[in-house]
Amino acid sequence: MNKVAVFVIMVFVFAACKKEKLHNDILNGNWKWVETVPVIALPLIPTGVQRPTAGETYILIFNSDGTYRYTQNDVILRSGTYTIRKNATENREMLTYSDQPGSYEINKNSDTLTLISDAPGAGYSKYVRF
């Protein structure tokens, strides 16, 4: 095989495996936590629903510069940076935080955001635009 053919094949292999970094504006804004549903890993069976108690407001704030804050009643619980990547082979958008292990699959429409953890048994959390 000549060097050009090998190069072309390698380009296609790397293109199929690459993770594309996406623009952070897809999550830009304030999201109010509605609920978290933990699940048993296999099969995916919900184990209950966790919701904020009366008087508690949790807000997840994503900024277009790649920073975020998570607040409870305006007190910052966590903050840092985040990255969104699209897995080219699975066509999924994944969110990672600088200060948290693992990643989250993003399911979003204009007013609802669901973050599905890739950790076994962690489940998913729902937010509404706030």
Domains of the chain: 20-129 (2.40.128.270)
Least confidently predicted of 15-19, 47-51, 89-93: 15-19
Rg (CA), the chain: 18
pLDDT tens for residues 26-69? 899 999 999 998 876 555 555 678 889 999 999 999 999 999 99
Between vectors from CA 91 to CA 110 and to CA 93, what angle results, nearest 5°?
A: 50
| Other CB atoms within 10 A of residue 85 CB | 16
Q: What is the mean pLDDT of the chain?
A: 80
pTM for the model: 0.76
In the structure, what pLDDT confidence band is assigned to residue 19 with cuts at 50, 70 and 90? Answer: very low
Provide the 8-state DSSP code for 50. B
DSSP assignment of 73-118: TTEEEEEEEEEEEEETTTTEEEEEETTSSS-EEEEE-SSEEEEEES
